[in-house]
Amino acid sequence: MVIYDWIKDFFNSIKDAIIASTQTMEDLIVLLNDATANIDATINAINTGQEIGGLNIAKFMGLLRYLLGDAVYGYMYYAILVGAGLAVFRLLVAIKNQIDFTGMFKSLKGLSFK
């Protein structure tokens, strides 16, 4: 009888694994359908200019991160930060070259503060 119990347990384990994997696949399909519906609704709202509700920028960045993946999103994020930093640096250099700071301080040379 021991061999029959072993065979019965073996086939019950296979049956349980098939049921569990089927349920997992069904849950995955439901999750993907919900995510697709959310993405479609967000894209339609962006295209039509409707209010998405809540934090629009945060939702859009979350959508972008979901669509691109973490690695590409991270590289894009750092590229934007470096680009913004370089833009601010170039703006400050342009302002420095346009304004004569040395002339402004030379006119203060004769003043005495007592």
Q: What is the pLDDT of residues 9-34, one digit of tens each?
A: 889 999 999 999 999 999 889 988 88
If you ran DSSP here, which 8-state letter would residue 99 be given? S
| SS3 category, 12 | helix
**Is 25 within the bounds of a domain?**
yes
Q: How many domains does the chain have?
A: 2
CB 43 within 8 A of CB 60: no
Residue 5 and residue 13: Cα distance in Å, rounded?
A: 12
Residue 10 belongs to a domain: yes
If asked whether residues 50 and 87 sit together in one domain, one would say: no
Kindly state whether residue 63 falls inside one of the protein's structural domains: no
Cβ atoms within 10 Å of 61's Cβ, excluding its own: 13
Q: Specify whether 80 is located in the same domain as 49.
A: no
Give the pLDDT confidence score for residue 20 in this predicted structure.
92
Residue 73 banded pLDDT, cuts 50, 70, 90: confident
| Whether residue 40 sits in one domain with residue 9 | yes
CB burial string 26-43: b at 16+ within 10 A, e below: eeeeeeeeeeeeeeeebe
Same domain, 47 and 73: no
Say if 61 falls within a structural domain: no
Q: State the Cα–Cα distance between residues 87 and 81, nearest whole angstrom.
A: 10
Q: Which domain holds residue 92?
A: 69-108
Total-model pTM: 0.40
Question: Looking at residue 42, what is its pLDDT?
Answer: 75
Instruction: For residue 69, give the 3-state DSSP assignment.
Output: coil
CB 60 within 8 A of CB 42: yes
CA-nearest of 33, 95, 31, 35 to 65 is: 35
